[in-house]
Structure 1
């Protein structure tokens, strides 16, 4: 692609942001609607969960392919195709009459979202000059953060007054506006040369990433064991890894590979992608912990839980733009390092405030700090990842960068969920024994046994465990007290695990290049804009 003169930077950035908004929003907005979907479509929860999981699975598996299609057919064209497809898929989601139809429509959303998302980074890299690219990436990453964190809030508000179908219908006018604005304002930057499309590479990377994503998503459900017959979660994960090995072997030999492996020779891209991936893994992990705490321990509604994330979303939106501009001035390395430390501090604050009696109010300030840390990693890392790449690698890099984000979401649920479940199973018995002292002696052993069994199986015990002649109200209260104390005790070490992970990867910022030249160019450009017209035309005087 060739560099394109930018005439309407604000409108172009708004248009690209609208595309990212609907895709990011739909990754989280559906979560709070699952009970309504199960009731409205008469489906069981295992099937309804695929309304979320199917979208993530397909989207993660196809992002690399979507990036390459933009390289072959043109980023603007694929952005438009993705927008139109996402609009149609959203409408189909809204008119679905059963769970199967809705899951298939969500698959289509995942496919079209994978066509759309990689083009955004490609278009920004092509349209915006290097000295302004950080600011543009800051706006874009801020949009991703705000939309992802606002999904549960918006979903809760919609469900409060309208049908679950409007969760999907809301995308139609947004996509329509983005399509019109793209046709009017986004420059058409087509590839200079014709490229072959690596069909075998598409099959291998889609199968490999799809298998690993499926294994991570479904691992908890099958207790990391047998799925059916000889098929097990470990076998699926191993098969996915082997397929990706075959993909690498194929890519090394194909003349125009789907994913040029020399992309990873660019140190800035590799390190920035690693740091960004760890940030997403820990951020998704913390949101899982806080959501479970607020709903299962504090007993908050889905809407109140979603509103708890508003400070985090605001911090991400405001400070991502600031971090993007600072990246243009100073480079990314120290901003990313500082963001990592702030993020770890936010997690530490959560470990201090969390307890069996914590409510949403206690988490507001820590989540705001987390939002600042995320912003100072996400925006600079996105800019840094694309900075040194030649134009022929930008589309592939965008696919890899965005795919890693989706994969980290699935991996985070698996890792954090497993750590929390292990800690909870370890803590529940002593906590049950502690509260059981308030029961008659003949009921204590049964209470402890049944509560420990229920939690060990991943359930939440109820007052049904009182036994003949027992006080159901008392047992229900004691069950909640024991579970809440055990959850809080298991939550804190999980937060410490995430803090340690951040501190371990933080020093890799030293591998990022210094950007003194880029910073100087940005400063010079801003100074030139501030000069009177005559001085700009005749700097000698």
Structure 2
């Protein structure tokens, strides 16, 4: 017999949730294009303004495991609405700040609000959609995740050029109010589970994640050396790994209900999907930096015009998402996600080979369009495969783990691409000029003597995310057939279990 929540149409609730999800993902990337304007408006140096992004990423990544589990306990709707309120008020605070320090603190609260919201979107999908429809639902989630990471720089460039950097935050306020009203009215109040809350697990996971993410994010700022006194970047990272190992040991010891149910990883597809989304998070974050620097400093494009290079990718991702969602419910996910994760490294290598100083813009748009195909085919099947087999009472925990790995992948990608770009600039530019290019303003050309070397350094840097994306490809090719496909077509089981 159907339960009341199964009798309700879950689609309006999902549309309400992804509005807020879109907003927080846009805020992960929108600040990058506004960095010069923030430096000028708040009289901040580079080291200070870097924290505007770092503070958000840290506050977003660290609590995700906790907020996923908390959603199971108090209900995804209540936690989502609380997070949306915090995020919206913090956005208003960001736009009204008058100093760089206030802006950094406000961004921390933005990140905390985002961490409360993100796992609840996937948890609601898992708990309100039947297994055979979750692919279509995840196609909407995947389209939002893919398009939002591309829209951020475009929207940021338009707002900064037209209204000022404050408006990249002010625009969240009306969107947040509308999103709150829609979620309040449309998202059902789902059953909660009276779990014991593992306070030691919360502390260990938060401390371990903070140390690792801080060390990776800030390593390049300290040249991977000493931060202060006996504390070094590497000691912080090693300490973080040790604390995370203690956290896992503690979770394995728990007889009751641990914060991170390690039994989740007994599901083959859940484990493989987490590997895949880590690689995707790394790749999508890392690829944007060399491309935007090349467009602004080598091709001389403004922030808005350089961001507009990503329009074909965003359009194709959105157009393909409904088609991919239907395929995800009918076809083995290894084939659907495999198309996207094969197109991803191919497009990045193609783009790397194309990024020369004098190349025509239309030639850059061809591999960027293939990136749109990659985005359209990989987000939904990976996300739906991760959560499809999870028990309903562990939906929040699974969503928290999945989103944590995605965000950690993004932080790793940001840190690694920064180190690689600096290394390649020092190697490719004459006379150590790599250290001086940062002083040039976007929208201007590099001196002719530096353009070839700078373009080569950025093109070579793209090969790192291309290589990491291959790890994701291998993971999705190992997916097993979901249960609903095995029941409908026994023939599908044989290659899945054999592989």
Q: Same fold (TM over 0.5)?
A: yes
Among candidates 413, 423, 448, match of residue 481 of structure 1: 448
TM-score, scaled relative to structure 1: 0.85
**Separation of aligned partners in 1, 2:347 and 2:15:** 30
Aligned partner of 1:333 in structure 2 is: 334
Aligned partner of 1:169 in structure 2 is: 170
8 Å CA contact retained: 1:78, 1:115: yes
8 Å CA contact retained: 1:320, 1:376: yes
Aligned partner of 2:469 in structure 1 is: 502
**Separation of aligned partners in 2, 1:6 and 1:368:** 40
8 Å CA contact retained: 2:19, 2:179: yes
Indicate the larger mover: 326-335 or 113-122.
326-335
1:435-454 equivalence runs, <5 A: 452-454=431-433
4+ residue stretches of structure 1 with deviation over 4 A? 458-462, 519-522
SS at match of 2:62: helix
Q: Which runs of 5+ in 2 are unaligned?
A: 490-499
Rg bigger for which structure?
1
Compared CA separation, residues 37 and 235, structure 1 to 2 (3 A): same
TM-score, scaled relative to structure 2: 0.91
SS at match of 1:164: coil
**Separation of aligned partners in 2, 1:481 and 1:197:** 61
Among candidates 457, 467, 480, match of residue 490 of structure 1: 457
Aligned partner of 2:304 in structure 1 is: 303
RMSD: 2.2
8 Å CA contact retained: 2:382, 2:476: no
Aligned partner of 1:316 in structure 2 is: 317
8 Å CA contact retained: 2:273, 2:475: no
Aligned partner of 2:235 in structure 1 is: 235
Does 2:359 correspond to 1:358?
yes
Aligned partner of 1:469 in structure 2 is: none
Compared CA separation, residues 350 and 233, structure 1 to 2 (3 A): same
Instruction: Number of aligned residue pairs: give it.
Output: 483
1:183-210 CA distances to partner (integer Å, 9 max, x unpaired)?
A: 211111021x311211211111111111
Distance apart, 1:359 and its partner CA: 5.8
Indicate the larger mover: 352-361 or 42-51.
352-361
Aligned partner of 1:374 in structure 2 is: 375
8 Å CA contact retained: 1:294, 1:359: no
Indicate the larger mover: 161-170 or 263-272.
161-170
Distance apart, 1:26 and its partner CA: 0.9
Q: Which runs of 5+ in 1 are unaligned?
A: 430-451, 463-475, 523-541
Does 2:402 correspond to 1:401?
yes
Distance apart, 1:499 and its partner CA: 3.3
**Separation of aligned partners in 1, 2:268 and 2:483:** 17
1:449-471 CA distances to partner (integer Å, 9 max, x unpaired)?
A: xxx2331x464588xxxxxxxxx
**Separation of aligned partners in 2, 1:314 and 1:134:** 20
**Separation of aligned partners in 2, 1:159 and 1:505:** 35
**Separation of aligned partners in 2, 1:218 and 1:359:** 36
**Separation of aligned partners in 2, 1:202 and 1:497:** 33
**Separation of aligned partners in 2, 1:495 and 1:157:** 26
**Separation of aligned partners in 2, 1:128 and 1:461:** 52
Compared CA separation, residues 239 and 101, structure 1 to 2 (3 A): same
